[in-house]
Structure 1
Amino acid sequence: MTDASDSIKETQIVPFEMGNKRFDQVAAELFSDYSRSRIQGWIKDGSLTVNGQTKKTKDKLVGGETLLLDAVLQAEERWEAEPVELDVVYQDDDIIVINKPAGLVVHPGAGTPSGTVLNGLLYRFPELASVPRAGIVHRLDKDTTGLMVVARNLPAQTSLSAQLQDRSMGREYLAVCMGIMTGGGVVDAPIDRHPKHRTKMAVAPEGMGRDSVTHYRVEQRFRNHTLVRCKLETGRTHQIRVHLSHIGYPLVGDPLYAGRSRLPKGVSPEVMECLKGFRRQALHAGYLELIHPATQEMMDWEVDLPEDFQQLLEVMQDELELFGSGDDF
């Protein structure tokens, strides 16, 4: 487990679109790996500052400030090393790339205190105990599959975090949407926490939320669904799921953003059975590219679709060949 004296030192710039929000609310969004109560404690004891100065939790920020977190992890924030099975597709002295399966949570939280990617990383790579968040720089939702990169040391973590911030890290996803898209496009719509449902995100009103940009293109049209490839410019929580639902094409199986799942008219029995059994969002992080923190070499990885996703596409393709398209395209 991590040592009680482990320290955290992180910096975040407050986006201007988050201006006029309380200090503790902004900090909870920007330092989302830590609980709200822990963040409020750090604000009160001066471990989390604004432009080098202490502030109260209720103080409003304007945007553009520098938040510096310089704190010590307390005993209750220790994480156990556990033998969680991980599919490591690449590793060297600086980075680890894993292919995450569906159902595996990335980081411990209130609902899942153990058995996560982080616990498994600490077990397989004990040196990660000295790296904040065990080297995790970005997450995938519990039921999203695919590629994640982990830093094995602080310089690598700083480099990878910077690549995420300046949008030079390339991440592409495959998703199956409900409905038939006529073509690709870009969704440029800010995202914020849903005003009524705290487990959900939502497209925010103009002037609110954090800037969020998703590029998407059609890979395959089926009789009632579309396979799309999405490329992220930003990495907001649930971004692809929120954006595609916002434009009227929610992901198949999405429990939060697809609404009440209604089967399309005339769907084949095989597709119906497959859809009923597909109990997660159809989203796969299949491609990742980045600049190696030490060598500065551009590297990329691609992993196959998981079996349930492949089966979903196969039955939809069979339906298309048997019955033809649901629309003229």
Structure 2
Amino acid sequence: MAGYRLDKALAELFPTYSRARLQQWLSEGQVLIDTTPRRRGKEKVQGGEKVQLTAQLEEQVTWQAQSLPLNLLYEDEAILVVNKPAGVVVHPGAGNPDETLVNALLHYAPELAQLPRAGIIHRLDKDTSGILAIARSLPAHTHLVAQLQQHQFKREYQAVVTGVFVAGGTIDAPIGRHPTHRTQMAVVTQGKPAVTHYRIIQRYRAHTHIRVQLETGRTHQIRVHMAYQRYPLVGDKAYGGRLHFPAGSSESLKQTLRTFPRQALHAETLGLVHPHSGQWLQWTVPLPPDMQNLLMELEQDKINQNAD
């Protein structure tokens, strides 16, 4: 490595840590070259020096640990995988200061306090159910974030939308902050690239049950893309528009659609490369009861109309 910049040499010597974190430790004087602290990443190395990293992990979050239910699908020293129910917020924030998934995770695995965002790699909206992966160590966090950025995670969802799709397809439309409704996202020309693949599981009279695969992971991506295509998710209060009942539908179906408490979206499958073993791991969880009931009502409506 003679002639390398110090920051480039450190990135090769310590690949389990991100360049940003190595730069932080460098600026804090926690990198010793032949026992002397060095702080400038651009200085050149001679080759043959002894490098010592003296950094200590510090608490990255100040959120409180709380004893709350946690549905664990998998755990080892590197990762945790959980099945999040609808109605649970992932991170504490305005309006949700506690009783979130992070509060439960910090109680179960206190070491997560040393990781950015308590080890959370990707998020699900409060009212979306399904699978989330959490890093349990800094090297695992770096590895999983890189996988996510390179679109190597497998993330499949089931959803119920208003409207009858003719066929599956791909939505490739950039997503950014809504120009006037600042708490919402929208398809906007200056947004970040967003790609959603979908295929049909079952058509009903005025709705479609679909399976969705994310290529990118923008905020509210599936909800925004489906609304953009004019097939909004059932129950989506932000992007769903007006209720739509099939002609002649039963009171039971109308009541189910009126009172469905959330967007009909479930993170069904998650696959990733384990950050330590390099093995491909994959988990699938069934639809929760509220979505099963919604599909049962739509199927019954279809049967009733065919009988007539």
Q: CA deviation at 1:263?
A: 2.9
Match of 1:83 among 60, 67, 78: 67
Q: What does the per-residue CA deviation read over 1:139-170, in whole Å, with 9 as the maximum and x for residues that have no partner?
A: 00000000000000011111111111000100
Aligned-residue identity in percent? 51
Structure 2 SS opposite 1:186: strand
Instruction: Determine the C-alpha separation between the residues in 1 that align with 2:74 and 2:209.
Output: 28
- The match for 1:261 is 243
Preserved contact between residue 80 and residue 119 of structure 1 (Cα < 8 Å): yes
- The match for 1:214 is 196
Q: CA deviation at 1:110?
A: 1.3
Preserved contact between residue 223 and residue 324 of structure 1 (Cα < 8 Å): no
One-letter amino acid of the counterpart of residue 256, structure 1: A
- The match for 2:36 is none
Q: CA deviation at 1:252?
A: 0.2
One-letter amino acid of the counterpart of residue 228, structure 1: I
Instruction: Determine the C-alpha separation between the residues in 1 that align with 2:19 and 2:293.
Output: 43
Q: How is 1:216-295 mapped onto 2 (pairs within 5 angstroms)?
A: 216-295=198-277
- The match for 1:167 is 151
Preserved contact between residue 243 and residue 257 of structure 2 (Cα < 8 Å): no
Q: CA deviation at 1:131?
A: 1.4
Tell me how large the CA RMSD over aligned residues is: 2.2
Instruction: Determine the C-alpha separation between the residues in 2 that align with 1:303 and 1:176.
Output: 17
- The match for 1:150 is 134
One-letter amino acid of the counterpart of residue 107, structure 1: H
- The match for 1:92 is 76
- The match for 1:322 is 304
- The match for 1:126 is 110
Q: Which moved more, 1:260-269 or 1:134-143?
A: 260-269
Match of 1:178 among 162, 169, 174: 162
Instruction: Determine the C-alpha separation between the residues in 1 that align with 2:167 and 2:267.
Output: 21
- The match for 1:188 is 172
- The match for 2:181 is 197
Structure 2 SS opposite 1:150: strand
Instruction: Determine the C-alpha separation between the residues in 1 that align with 2:207 and 2:89.
Output: 28
Structure 1: gaps of 5 or more residues: 1-7, 13-51, 53-71
Preserved contact between residue 198 and residue 212 of structure 2 (Cα < 8 Å): yes
One-letter amino acid of the counterpart of residue 143, structure 1: D
Preserved contact between residue 107 and residue 117 of structure 1 (Cα < 8 Å): yes
One-letter amino acid of the counterpart of residue 247, structure 2: K
Instruction: Determine the C-alpha separation between the residues in 1 that align with 2:68 and 2:216.
Output: 29
Counterpart check, 1:296 vs 2:273: no
Instruction: Determine the C-alpha separation between the residues in 1 that align with 2:243 and 2:302.
Output: 21
Preserved contact between residue 18 and residue 142 of structure 2 (Cα < 8 Å): no
Preserved contact between residue 272 and residue 282 of structure 2 (Cα < 8 Å): yes
Instruction: Determine the C-alpha separation between the residues in 2 that align with 1:11 and 1:179.
Output: 46
Preserved contact between residue 59 and residue 114 of structure 2 (Cα < 8 Å): no
One-letter amino acid of the counterpart of residue 98, structure 1: V
Instruction: Determine the C-alpha separation between the residues in 2 that align with 1:102 and 1:174.
Output: 14
TM-score using structure 1 length: 0.75
Instruction: Determine the C-alpha separation between the residues in 1 that align with 2:91 and 2:125.
Output: 10
Q: How is 1:31-42 mapped onto 2 (pairs within 5 angstroms)?
A: none
One-letter amino acid of the counterpart of residue 172, structure 2: D
Counterpart check, 1:103 vs 2:91: no
Structure 2: gaps of 5 or more residues: 1-16, 22-40, 42-57
Instruction: Determine the C-alpha separation between the residues in 2 that align with 1:235 and 1:10.
Output: 22
> How many residues matched?
258
One-letter amino acid of the counterpart of residue 309, structure 1: M
